[in-house]
Amino acid sequence: MKSVKGNFVENIFRKAKISFLKIYYARGSAHEIALGAAIGAFWGVFPTFGLSTILSLLLYKIFRFNIVAAISGAFISNPLTSPFLLIISYKVGSYFIKTDIQFDYDNWYKNLPRIGYVLIIGSTIVSAITGLFIYYITKYVVDRRRNLKANNPIQNTK
């Protein structure tokens, strides 16, 4: 019998794989898919705490990207990665805004009013870098898959 913790971790990895496959096989141009994944990843890393889908839907009206890729890209933030993303964002923000408060994951929410600016600055930078990274990786993978499919004589006969 598997432990509850094992099922939890397996479930997260299963959902991550499904999200990757949704992006990999999404319809639309490679730019639309990559932009959607990048915007989703940006909101997934930024501490929106569950609002990433709503924020992606709002941006969809402006930028016209692949919404399925955006929702899938937002899965970068999950219970396994969120603690690390918060710590990294705080560390990056503390390079720009000096603070004497030590980031402690157990009671970070108590210090949120005092470290909020540091966390927002760091999250913006980390989210932007993650979004750019996801954009270029996704665009490369989608273009490569489509080029391989177009150049495969066996698949072209169907």
Whether the per-residue pLDDT at 156 is higher than 80: the answer is: no
User: Please, what is the average pLDDT of the chain?
Assistant: 82
pLDDT (tens digit per residue) in 37-84: 899 999 988 988 778 888 888 888 888 888 888 888 887 777 777 888
How confident is the model at residue 55, as a pLDDT?
87
Task: Kindly state the percentage of the chain with pLDDT values over 70.
Answer: 87
How confident is the model at residue 93, as a pLDDT?
92
What is the rounded CA–CA span in Å between residue 18 and residue 72? 8
Q: Collect all residues with Cβ–Cβ distance below 8 Å to 126 and sequence separation of at least 6.
A: 45, 85, 88, 89, 92
Residue for token pair 């870098």: 129
At 59 the three-state DSSP class reads helix
pTM of the predicted model as reported, rounded to 2 decimal places: 0.78
